[in-house]
Amino acid sequence: MRVAIITETFLPKVDGIVKVTCLLLDHLSKRGIEALVIAPRYGEGARYNDVPVRSLPSLPFPLYPEARLGFATLSLYRDLAAFQPDIAHLFHPVMTGIPTMMMLKWMEAPTVTSFHLDYARLAPQFRLGALDLGFTRPLIDELTKNIFNWSDYSLAPSTLVQQQMRRLGISNVGLWRRGVDAEAFNPRFRSAAMRAELTAGNPESTLLLYVGRLSDEKQIEHIRPTLEALPNTRLALVGDGPARAELERYFADLPVAFMGYLRGERLSQAYASADIFVFPSRLETFGLVVIEAMAAGAPVVAARVGGVGDMVSDGVNGYSFESGDKVMLLEGVRRIASNRQTMRWMGQQARAYAERQSWEAIMDELIELYAGLIAARRPQRVAV
């Protein structure tokens, strides 16, 4: 089996989409399946481990400079034809994916699209002077429906997003659940040195942790009332993004540590060294960082977006709340932090849930889907 992976974002950029892409590529290699990555050019390097990467000419996205817009070229068609994919998986096709899908349709290769970013609901946060881009939401929804229905099969990361996609009119929507590497994210990585770093030398404080992009839709500023209401509580923010400077000013008078990007063991240590993971985002398709925190043994207080409703059992491994409800965010943290024994028990329940969410099983299910679509596309042999 040969699989073409088409994505709008790739290394060296680090986000949830890139993480899932790399996990898939690792699993395909493990199963002896050949892959080719097609992505906008973010940096140097023509391979990911043993997987070739076809980097397309790209430009920064003016409204979000961390992202890049990739442009398909005629030479890409020649590369695709030489690779002869049995199937193509497009990660939320937009600038890179749409023209590439046209090429794949011409080649009669079966296609799978997976939903990763709710562009229609992201648009209102971008403004050009007095121009509010929120008016584009119906147009983006219609475009999303048509693109996803153009593929042979679509995948949602959570039941909530699956329902949203069906309401848009997208047919043939299955689930591609998110898992976690329970060895890479594990309570055994708890580190006194990391906790001291995250708390600025105050390890006895209750430590709240956020991991992810520092951007407007994450609503990180909603954590402020919790810090103000609960004495001896500190917050560590792991990640970077366009809202960082504004957040640094907003939290300047509170005990908040801006850690920037952490990777590898340092990221594992950060998760495992925190007391409670907080995630007030208003917009997610899944929320991969939530299950990573749970695997590290941290109870979660998170907005009920994306896959949070699938993962968080209120009063067991954390608390969920309606996005934007600062009072319930505070109440969830207060309930957990007020009793150390309860905090430990909920952390154990979070870990127990995460241990059952194996990436290996989830990726094997995806490969089975690929095989089924390939078999369905092949001409049926006539029995003699």
Q: Please give the pLDDT value at position 378.
A: 74
Residue 40 has pLDDT above 70, yes or no: yes
DSSP string, 262-280: --HHHHHHHHHH-SEEEE-
The confidence band for 165, taking pLDDT boundaries of 50, 70 and 90, is very high
Residue 70 has pLDDT above 50, yes or no: yes
Q: Please give the pLDDT value at position 57.
A: 82
| Widest Cα–Cα separation across the chain | 81
**Separation between Cα atoms, residue 288 and residue 175, nearest integer Å:** 15
**Separation between Cα atoms, residue 88 and residue 5, nearest integer Å:** 6
* Sequence spans of domains, the chain: 2-179+359-377, 187-355
Q: Please give the pLDDT value at position 125.
A: 58
187-355 and 2-179+359-377 share a CATH fold: yes
Q: Are 302 and 283 in contact (CB under 8 A)?
A: no
Beta strand 127-128 pairing with 131-132: antiparallel
Q: Are 13 and 42 in contact (CB under 8 A)?
A: yes
Q: Please give the pLDDT value at position 15.
A: 83
Q: What architecture is the 2-179+359-377 domain classified under in CATH? A: 3-Layer(aba) Sandwich (3.40)
**Domain spanning 187-355: which CATH class is it, in words?**
alpha beta
Residue 248 has pLDDT above 50, yes or no: yes
Q: Please give the pLDDT value at position 131.
A: 46
For residues 50 and 113, which has the higher predicted lDDT (pLDDT)? 113
Q: Are 74 and 90 in contact (CB under 8 A)?
A: no
Instruction: Return the closest-CA partner of residue 315 out of 298, 332, 330.
Output: 332
pLDDT in tens, 82-116: 999 999 999 999 889 999 999 999 999 999 999 98
Q: How many C-beta atoms surround the C-beta of residue 141 within 10 A? A: 18
pLDDT, average across residues 133-155: 87
What burial letters (b/e) apply to 271-306, b meaning 16+ CB within 10 Å? bbbbbbbbbbbbbbbbbbbbbbbbbbbbbbbbbbbb
Instruction: Return the closest-CA partner of residue 100 out of 119, 116, 117, 85.
Output: 85
Give the predicted TM-score (pTM) of the model.
0.75
Phi/psi region, residue 44 (left: phi>0; alpha: psi -120 to 50; beta: rest), is beta
